[in-house]
């Protein structure tokens, strides 16, 4: 087989397709780079690794720029990648170039999943990878993702949660922590996962004859439930669990409709206390550290 001719024909046909049928450009790119990657893999086995460098030089001379040694190796890597992952044409070649840098197959599957579910741009995908969102999922959640378990609202809440401090204020109180969150509420909601929307901070409720204030009241439209968030600048304490349980029960009694799921609670604290987490039997209460950057 003349591998070079086959590779050149694949690339030329792809360029023609992109000009004539722009709507199918992405699918054509992925198909072409898969086929080229397969041919390069076979050629390398027959003629050795140096043949790719030779092909790169010839393709550049005959077809123009875009066929560097690095790009051809990426196409070969994409072909090998496709053996372990289902290639989806909702993602572009630029998406896959980012994903090819990740070695862990389960991590790749996670990012493909959120790209499709959240319609992420390449820049947004890069941000998720840079923030190490997969690494900040707990082991139980990773196991559930591997086994394709039905997701629940608590699966994708990272630990630690990253909170940006562009003002360089020292976080010495819940009020300051709350202010930093409110300064970039979209970024905070993204840290929690998908479907979270902001309702109100300092949400006022009356329990008995006294008023209390929920630090942040959210709603998750995907899982149809309210979310109570309490902020602590200390380690988790037993009384924090009791406090948020009271708030969750209040929301369930006074706001939740019969068609909605039960409220969940999130306690964001400076450092997790593992004993308390084991002590707390309510699976709808989560604790998460915050990491100030």
pLDDT at 280 > cutoff 60:
no
User: 208 — alpha (psi -120 to 50), left (phi > 0) or beta?
Assistant: left
User: In the chain, where are the structural domains located?
Assistant: 3-130, 165-292
Question: Is a pLDDT exceeding 50 seen at residue 279?
Answer: no
Of 260, 180, 187, the C-alpha closest to 219 is 260
More confident residue, 14 or 220: 220
User: Cα(102)–Cα(60) distance, rounded to whole angstroms?
Assistant: 28
| pLDDT, tens digit, 9 for 90 and up, residues 193-231 | 888 999 999 999 988 888 999 999 999 988 899 999 999
Is-above-0.75 flag for pTM?
no
Identify the pLDDT of residue 270: 76
Q: What is 165-292's CATH number?
A: 3.40.1350.10
Q: Check whether the bond before 206 is cis (ω within 30° of 0).
A: no
Residue 36 CB neighbour total at 10 angstroms: 26
Q: Is the pLDDT of residue 152 over 70?
A: no
**Mean pLDDT lowest among 24-28, 138-142, 263-267, 270-274:** 270-274
How far apart are the C-alpha atoms of 94 and 101, rounded to whole Å?
A: 12
Per-residue DSSP letters for 95-150? HHHHHTT---HHHHHHHHHHHHHHT--HHHHHHHHHTTTTTTS-HHHHHHHHTTPP
Mean pLDDT of all residues in the chain? 84
């Amino acid at each position: 087989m003349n591998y070079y001719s086959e590779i050149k024909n694949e690339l030329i046909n792809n360029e023609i397709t992109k000009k004539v049928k722009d709507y199918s450009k992405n699918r054509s790119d992925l198909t072409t780079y898969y086929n080229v990657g397969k041919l390069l893999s076979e050629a390398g086995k027959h003629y050795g690794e140096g043949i790719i460098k030779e092909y790169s030089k010839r393709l550049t001379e005959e077809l123009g720029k875009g066929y560097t040694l690095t790009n051809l190796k990426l196409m070969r890597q994409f072909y090998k990648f496709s053996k372990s992952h289902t290639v989806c044409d909702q993602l572009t070649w630029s998406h896959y170039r980012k994903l090819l840098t990740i070695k862990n197959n389960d991590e790749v599957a996670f990012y493909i999943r959120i790209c499709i579910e959240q319609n992420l741009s390449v820049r947004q995908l890069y941000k998720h990878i840079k923030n190490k969102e997969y690494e900040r999922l707990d082991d139980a959640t990773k196991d559930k993702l591997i086994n394709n378990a039905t997701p629940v609202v608590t699966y994708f809440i990272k630990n630690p949660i990253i909170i940006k401090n562009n003002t360089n204020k020292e976080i010495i109180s819940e009020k300051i922590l709350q202010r930093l969150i409110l300064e970039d509420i979209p970024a905070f909601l993204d840290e929690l996962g998908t479907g979270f929307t902001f309702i109100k901070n300092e949400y006022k409720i009356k329990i008995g004859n006294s008023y209390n204030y929920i630090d942040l009241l959210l709603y998750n439209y995907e899982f149809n439930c309210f979310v109570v968030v309490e902020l602590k600048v200390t380690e988790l304490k037993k009384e924090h669990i009791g406090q948020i349980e009271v708030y969750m029960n209040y929301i369930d009694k006074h706001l939740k409709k019969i068609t909605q799921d039960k409220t969940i609670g999130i306690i964001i604290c400076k450092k997790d206390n593992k004993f308390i987490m084991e002590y707390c039997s309510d699976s709808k209460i989560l604790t998460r550290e915050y990491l100030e950057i």
